[in-house]
Amino acid sequence: MQNVSRRLDLSVQYACNASDVPLRTSIRRWVRAAIDVDGGRGGKIVVRFVDPEEGRVLNRDYRGKDYATNVLSFPYEVEPVVCGDLVVCAEVALREAAEQGRTADAHYAHLIVHGILHLLGYDHEDSEEDAEDMEERERRILAGLGYPDPYADEE
């Protein structure tokens, strides 16, 4: 990917009333770390924090699952730069963080990294091998950001 812009055009939208959502500076750091996993590239990415109602409607309409999920990824382009949207349901994310004994910050970092990897074309639903590959990349990125292994309790 020579001569490809590393410019990151990031838009963060707060379309919910959750009080414990991450700041744009943190989100930018997480997004940058994730899109650089396979070499430096740029991107045009929107990260939108939503309430459970909007999250449920999007999950139902685009994935056929009638519940709010933690993060949805909508990729538009991968090469030469990453273009896509991430939708994070803040209430679901905060509930999961509490249930898993993680800080909100660490869990949000994981969800953003996970979502960006989906924008890059990584998937964990096609095969166990793909899931392991994606999880290993998440571990490496999050460790580089100073966060604990999000899958440590599963082993």
Rounded mean pLDDT, 111-128:
87
In a domain, 133, yes or no: yes
- Cα–Cα distance between 38 and 41 in angstroms, integer? 9
Q: Strand order in 71-77's β-sheet?
A: 8-15, 43-50, 82-89, 71-77
pLDDT band at 63 (very low <50, low <70, confident <90, very high): very high
For the segment 75-91, what is each residue's pLDDT rounded down to a tens digit?
Answer: 998 888 899 999 999 99
Q: What is the CATH number of the domain that holds 116?
A: 3.40.390.30
Residue 62 structural domain: 8-149
3-state secondary structure of 86: strand
47: tokens are: 């990260």
H or E element: which one contains 84? strand 82-89
pLDDT band at 1 (very low <50, low <70, confident <90, very high): very low
In a domain, 135, yes or no: yes
In a domain, 3, yes or no: no
